[in-house]
Amino acid sequence: MNVLGILTAGGDCPGLNAVIRAVVSRATIEHGAEVVGILNGWEGLMQGKVRALDRDDVRGILQRGGTILGSSRMDPYVHGDGYASIARTVRDNGLDGVVVVGGDGTLASALKLSKEGLNVIGVPKTIDNDIDATDTTFGFNTAVEIATEAIDRITTTAEAHHRIMLVEVMGRTRGWIAVYSGIAAGADAILIPEAPCDLQECADIIHARHRRGHRYSVVVVAEGVEPPVAGEKGAIDAFGFERLGGVAYQIAPVLEELTGFETRVTVLGHIQRGGTPSAYDRVLGTRFGVGAADFAAEGKWGTMVALRGRNIVPVTLEEACASTRGVDEKLFDTAKVFFG
């Protein structure tokens, strides 16, 4: 391997710069390769937007959120014709392979390109923590920290004003951020897509709290829960995913009606993806990046780096794309112990 490309695609998440720094450092120093940074995800690979990266270009970025390469939701199979739309950039830059850092949509496109002949190493990235083939993804830990701090802050104002506060967190169709931040912040109830959203049950929990003298409640709502009244679907993004956010605004009036208590909403949104990554995510991103550079040097194309137990191992892109992971029942049962 002489020339290695790297791109970050899809929604950004804390820790991307740690991966870039690690891939560039390991590939150049240990493996004597050149690294080409591809700008704005697949868009850069389709449009030939690249910049050379060496060790000095990636100094001082470990603490930075976002990605120095930029990202986008462009996709070679949605906005182009697959390998044919990236072939020129691959050829012009002499790319022997590309490290693709992305979530499930990005990795699915990476798999298709690899079947068309592109040498790819995937790196799993998402705050949603839903890629089944790896124990966890970087970005998730930071998002949970941010959400937990927000819920802690909302709890004190909920108590002061004797309100029900709904805190909506991201996670797309999976409730990992909701369950982790809800457990960490001691939420009184947590609504996730993996479990039926029973608002009467939620109202009963809140009434029981009031009867015991606790006249406020904090409910964590995963953005992917079913709305109480089925309505029109939201906009669709470039990967074909529904754009979520705001379901708590539909739940609030129902809960207010059922309980008779004032109910307010905070949607945390992109704050969960921004800012400096946690130490955990910096370390995991660094380990993934070093692993990706090593797998590229070893010619383990068509694989994704994964955390399994304490080790970074290659798994096939097929396995990486086979399934997403939902919150397991036992974890949710643990959260439920503290409801009410």
Q: Among 128, 188, 281, 294, which one carries the catalytic annotation?
A: 128
C-beta neighbour count of 75 within 10 angstroms: 25
**Shortest distance (Å) from residue 298 CB to ligand F6P:** 30
Rounded Cα–Cα distance for residues 294 and 298 (Å): 6
Q: What is the phi/psi pair of residue 242, to 5°?
A: -70, 135
Among residues 75, 128, 145, 281, the one that binds ligand F6P under rule CB under 6 A: 128
Which residues from 25-44 bind ligand F6P, rule CB under 6 A?
none
Stretch that binds ligand F6P, among 84-92, 121-129, 151-159, 202-210 (CB under 6 A): 121-129
Q: Decide if residue 75 touches ligand F6P (CB under 6 A).
A: no
DSSP code string of 185-230 = HT-SEEE-TTS---HHHHHHHHHHHHHTT---EEEEEETTSPPSS-
Q: Decide if residue 170 touches ligand F6P (CB under 6 A).
A: yes
Q: Decide if residue 14 touches ligand F6P (CB under 6 A).
A: no
Rounded Cα–Cα distance for residues 71 and 11 (Å): 7
**Shortest distance (Å) from residue 225 CB to ligand F6P:** 12
Q: Largest alpha-carbon pair distance within the chain?
A: 71
Among residues 76, 102, 124, 171, the one that binds ligand F6P under rule CB under 6 A: 171
For ligand F6P, give the closer residue by CB, 112 or 172.
Answer: 172
- Asked if 188 is an active-site residue, the reply is no
**Shortest distance (Å) from residue 56 CB to ligand F6P:** 31
**How many residues touch ligand F6P (CB under 6 A)?**
14
For ligand F6P, give the closer residue by CB, 142 or 217.
Answer: 142
For ligand F6P, give the closer residue by CB, 90 or 167.
Answer: 167
Stretch that binds ligand F6P, among 49-57, 84-92, 113-121, 167-175 (CB under 6 A): 167-175
For ligand F6P, give the closer residue by CB, 121 or 177.
Answer: 177
Stretch that binds ligand F6P, among 76-84, 169-177, 253-261, 314-322 (CB under 6 A): 169-177
Under a CB-based contact definition with an 8 Å cutoff, are residues 22 and 290 in contact?
Answer: yes
Q: What is the phi/psi pair of residue 126, to 5°?
A: -175, 140
Rounded Cα–Cα distance for residues 111 and 302 (Å): 7
Rounded Cα–Cα distance for residues 219 and 340 (Å): 10
Among residues 18, 35, 127, 183, the one that binds ligand F6P under rule CB under 6 A: 127
Q: Which residues contact 73 (CB under 8 A, 6 or more apart)?
A: 9, 10, 11, 41, 237, 238, 239
Rounded Cα–Cα distance for residues 175 and 193 (Å): 6
Measuring CA to CA, which residue among 105, 142, 139 is closest to residue 122? 105
Q: Decide if residue 132 touches ligand F6P (CB under 6 A).
A: no
Among residues 99, 244, 252, 265, the one that binds ligand F6P under rule CB under 6 A: 244
- Strand ordering across the sheet containing 311-316: 50-53, 34-38, 3-8, 97-102, 120-124, 303-308, 311-316
Q: Which residues contact 323 (CB under 8 A, 6 or more apart)?
A: 132
Among residues 21, 125, 273, 287, the one that binds ligand F6P under rule CB under 6 A: 273
Both tokens assigned to 1: 């391997």
Binding region for ligand F6P (CB under 6 A): 11, 73, 103, 126-128, 170-172, 223, 237, 243-244, 273
Active site residues: 128
